[in-house]
């Protein structure tokens, strides 16, 4: 048994022990000292689906229109069950807010107390308990309306028991987002419930310490997951607002973390308001990022350079976000992706070039595939990723990234008529003796992106390693592929006799991809992986493929927006950008 799996089993045992102990507490609460204003954003459409018995969580759908209790439904997997026990679905029912929504929320909430309130079940972990407490307190007025005194007493007693458990076990939550959830829930309960004020002060101090430990100088988390950073930012702003509402001050370290994160999230925000999809993160719910930034009221922007290891180029209505650092290491590598130097491009309100995204909601195979380099808009060599997945842990299933790039030099600056990103990584040096270098230049008007990918054997030892690989393939060359995954809403066609690819957005906007003509160009199937969908969405990818046969190889390509003229649309790609090049 590995130490990781042993610690996980030990944590589960201690959680259950403390949960049962907490349910025996003699402390009582009969009401709220103050109730924080609900700040969570729910989905009206999802709320209506829940009321109808359509339970869609973590990529699985269960239709249970006749189920008397949510907790009698057989859950397909642990992720589905965690979503139920976290009670984030209360946001969706509250967004509907009618009599049926309230009755559903009441039935499911008191059903949870009946089934699991005595310290049983998967929901008694620090992070899920924190998440659940936030929702119960946020929506207390919604769910208590029309209830009896006995039901109200049961509700408050369960809140106190969960608060007692959280005060004992918050430190068992993993550092980062899980611990932020646990401590924010404890702060909410301590500030809100009668007789629980003593719980708040230790949690406030602990959250400030976590901010210092987990939020780095670039305003990022060790996992480098943009969506996870948005979750953490939201929790920190909720906790600060709850402290303000209660007439309490927020520790300096807490506020400084919020001030560091806000400009980083602006760097990771595409032109359409969605997040860049890297290292297990999705785009975030519609409007969530903009709402969180507006609520925080922090207007500063990140200085030039990297934010949480990402570079951003933006001009006109176009945004380009590049993974410009090694993958996360240590414990954070269990969800990391091999995406160094991959990029995404969004034009206006429409994503164009994307990464496939996180596949965890579709099972272990999709999760593993989504982490590989070929699932990103980057370069893969010899059929390999730029980092390798270790064998999964026997008990937890966690897979760390190993043999990752360790050196990623980056330079960003203005050139000619645009902004240029230059970067490289050594992820392929150990296996092939080759360094991957990528240059991206975005025009000042945002209507064109010129790119160049190079594979270089630089040092003598690297050249010898490359020669060995060439001997192994009898000088046939080492195959490489450069991928540009397209959003499913993009309609792509090969034109100009196979020399270019046109991409039409639903808005009517057209982009054209061209390359220097020395490599094979094709359109291939791809997928777009989104949580809260039943299956991956079919899409396509532009594939540039060739073989490395020398110590220095380069591929030049461009993405350009078609230009509307008085007589229609002129294809800018017809003005070949490589005509004046050697």
pLDDT digits (tens, 9 = 90+) for 473-495: 999 999 999 999 999 999 999 98
- Are 220 and 228 within 8 A, CB to CB? no
Quick one: 567 exposed, middle or buried, by C-beta within 10 A (0-12, 13-18, 19+)?
exposed
Answer whether 124's CB lies under 8 Å from 15's CB.
yes
Q: Supply the DSSP string of 203-261, one letter for each residue.
A: HHHHHHHHHHHHS-TTS--TT--HHHHHHHHHHHHHHHHHHHHTT-PPPHHHHHHHHHH
Instruction: Determine the pLDDT at residue 572.
Output: 42
**Tens-place pLDDT, residues 451-476:** 999 999 999 999 999 999 999 999 99
Question: pLDDT at position 316, please?
Answer: 93
Query: Helix 252-267 vs helix 197-214: angle between axes, to the nearest 10 degrees?
Result: 50
pLDDT bucket at 575, cuts 50 / 70 / 90 = very low
Q: What is the dihedral of CA 231, 233, 237, 238, to 10 degrees?
A: 10
Q: d(Cα 19, Cα 124) in Å, to the nearest integer?
A: 7
Quote the pLDDT of residue 573. 39
**Which of 552, 577, 487 is closest to 526 using CA atoms?**
487
More confident position, 339 or 335 = 339
Please determine, for residue 567, whether its predicted confidence score (pLDDT) is greater than 60: no
- Greater confidence (7 vs 323) lies with 323
At 15, is the pLDDT very low, low, confident or very high (cuts 50, 70, 90)? low
Of the chain, the percentage scoring pLDDT greater than 70 comes to: 89
Q: Is the pLDDT of residue 339 over 90?
A: yes
Contact between 93 and 50 under an 8 Å Cβ cutoff? The reply is yes
Instruction: Give the pLDDT confidence score for residue 25 in this predicted structure.
Output: 62
Q: Cα–Cα distance between 45 and 38 in angstroms, integer? A: 19
pLDDT value of position 299: 77
Q: Residue 31 in contact with residue 194, Cβ under 8 Å?
A: yes
Task: Give the pLDDT band of residue 10 (cuts 50, 70, 90).
Answer: low
Residue predicted with more confidence, 435 or 382: 435
Q: What is the DSSP letter of 348?
A: T
Report d(CA 221, CA 58) in Å as an integer.
Answer: 23
Tell me the chain's radius of gyration from C-alpha atoms. Answer: 26
Q: Compute the distance between CA of residue 60 and CA of residue 84 in angstroms, rounded to an integer.
A: 12
Q: What span, in angstroms and rounded, lies between the C-alpha atoms of 268 and 248?
A: 32
Among 36-45, 346-355, 482-491, 536-545, where is mean pLDDT lowest? 36-45
Is the pTM higher than 0.85? The answer reads: yes
Let me know how long the chain is. 582
Confidence of residue 574 (pLDDT cuts 50, 70, 90): very low
Phi, psi of 578 (to 5 degrees): -105, 0
Q: How confident is the model at residue 1 (pLDDT cuts 50, 70, 90)?
A: very low
pLDDT of residue 344: 98
Residues 348-373: what's their mean pLDDT? 93
d(CA 415, CA 355): 27
pLDDT of residue 450: 97
d(CA 108, CA 83): 13
**What is the rounded distance in angstroms from the CA atom of residue 491 to the CA atom of residue 486?**
9
**Over the stretch 17-41, which tens digit does the pLDDT of each residue have?**
456 555 656 566 667 887 667 778 8
Alpha-carbon span 332 to 394, nearest angstrom: 18
Residues whose CB falls within 8 Å of the CB of residue 137, separated by 6 or more in sequence, listed in order = 32, 35, 36, 159, 188, 189, 192
Asked if residue 499 lies in contact with residue 521, where contact means CB atoms within 8 angstroms, the answer is yes
What are 408-429's pLDDT values in tens digits? Answer: 999 999 988 899 999 999 999 9
* Predicted confidence (pLDDT) at residue 295 exceeds the cutoff of 80: yes
pLDDT per residue as tens digits for the range 227-255: 999 999 999 999 999 999 889 999 999 99
Residues 38-50, mean pLDDT to the nearest whole number:
88
Q: Other CB atoms closer than 10 Å to residue 122's CB: what's the count?
A: 15
pLDDT band at 334 (very low <50, low <70, confident <90, very high): confident
Q: Say if residue 508's pLDDT is above 80.
A: yes
Region 123-152 average pLDDT: 94
């Amino acid at each position: 048994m590995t130490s990781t799996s042993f610690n996980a089993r030990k944590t589960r045992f201690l959680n259950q022990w403390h949960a049962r102990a907490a349910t025996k507490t003699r402390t009582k609460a009969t009401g709220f000292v103050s109730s924080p204003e609900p700040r969570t954003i729910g989905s009206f459409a999802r709320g209506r689906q829940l009321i109808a018995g359509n339970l869609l969580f973590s990529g699985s759908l269960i239709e249970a229109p006749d189920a008397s209790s949510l907790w009698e439904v057989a859950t397909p997997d642990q992720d589905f069950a965690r979503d139920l026990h976290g009670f984030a679905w209360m946001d969706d029912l509250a967004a509907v807010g009618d009599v049926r929504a309230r009755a559903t929320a009441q039935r499911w909430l008191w059903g949870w107390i009946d089934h699991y309130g005595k310290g049983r079940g998967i929901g008694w972990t620090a992070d899920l308990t924190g998440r659940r407490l936030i929702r119960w307190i946020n929506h207390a007025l919604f769910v208590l309306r029309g209830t009896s005194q006995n039901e109200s007493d049961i509700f408050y007693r369960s809140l106190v028991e969960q608060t007692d458990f959280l005060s004992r076990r918050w430190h068992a939550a993993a550092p980062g987002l899980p611990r932020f959830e646990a401590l924010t829930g404890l702060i909410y309960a301590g500030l809100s419930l009668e007789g629980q004020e003593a719980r708040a002060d230790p949690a406030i101090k602990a959250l400030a310490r976590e901010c210092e430990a987990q939020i780095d100088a670039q305003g990022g988390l060790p996992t480098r997951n943009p969506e996870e950073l948005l979750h953490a930012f939201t929790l920190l702003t909720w906790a600060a607002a709850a402290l303000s509402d209660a007439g309490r001050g927020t520790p300096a370290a807490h506020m400084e973390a919020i001030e560091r994160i806000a400009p980083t999230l602006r760097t990771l925000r595409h032109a359409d308001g969605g997040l860049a999809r890297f290292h297990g993160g999705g785009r975030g719910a519609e409007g969530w990022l903009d709402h969180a930034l507006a609520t925080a009221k922090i207007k500063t922007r990140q200085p030039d350079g990297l934010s949480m290891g990402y570079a951003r180029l933006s001009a006109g209505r176009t945004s380009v976000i590049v993974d410009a650092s090694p993958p996360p290491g240590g414990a954070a590598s269990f969800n990391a992706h091999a995406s160094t130097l991959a990029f995404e491009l969004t034009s206006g309100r429409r994503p164009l070039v994307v990464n496939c995204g996180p596949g965890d909601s579709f099972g272990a195979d999709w999760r593993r595939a989504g982490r590989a380099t070929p699932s990103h808009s980057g370069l893969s060599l010899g059929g390999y990723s730029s980092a390798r997945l270790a064998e999964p842990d026997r008990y937890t299933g966690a897979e760390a990234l190993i043999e990752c790039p360790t050196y990623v030099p980056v330079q960003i600056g203005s050139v000619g008529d645009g902004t240029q990103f230059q970067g490289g990584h050594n992820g392929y040096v150990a296996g092939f003796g080759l360094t991957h270098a990528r240059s991206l230049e975005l025009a000042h008007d945002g209507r064109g992106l010129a790119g160049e990918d190079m594979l270089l054997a630089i040092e003598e030892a690297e050249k010898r390693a490359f020669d060995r690989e060439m001997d192994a393939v009898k000088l046939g060359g080492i195959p490489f592929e450069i991928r540009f995954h397209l959003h499913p809403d993009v309609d792509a066609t090969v034109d100009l006799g196979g020399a270019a690819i046109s991409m039409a957005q639903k808005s009517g906007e057209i982009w054209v991809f061209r390359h220097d003509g020395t490599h094979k160009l094709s359109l291939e199937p791809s997928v777009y992986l989104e949580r809260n969908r039943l299956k991956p969405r079919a899409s396509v990818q532009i594939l540039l493929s060739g073989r490395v046969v020398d110590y220095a190889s380069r591929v030049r390509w461009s993405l350009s927006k078609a230009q509307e003229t008085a007589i229609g649309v002129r294809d800018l790609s017809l003005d070949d950008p490589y005509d004046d090049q050697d």
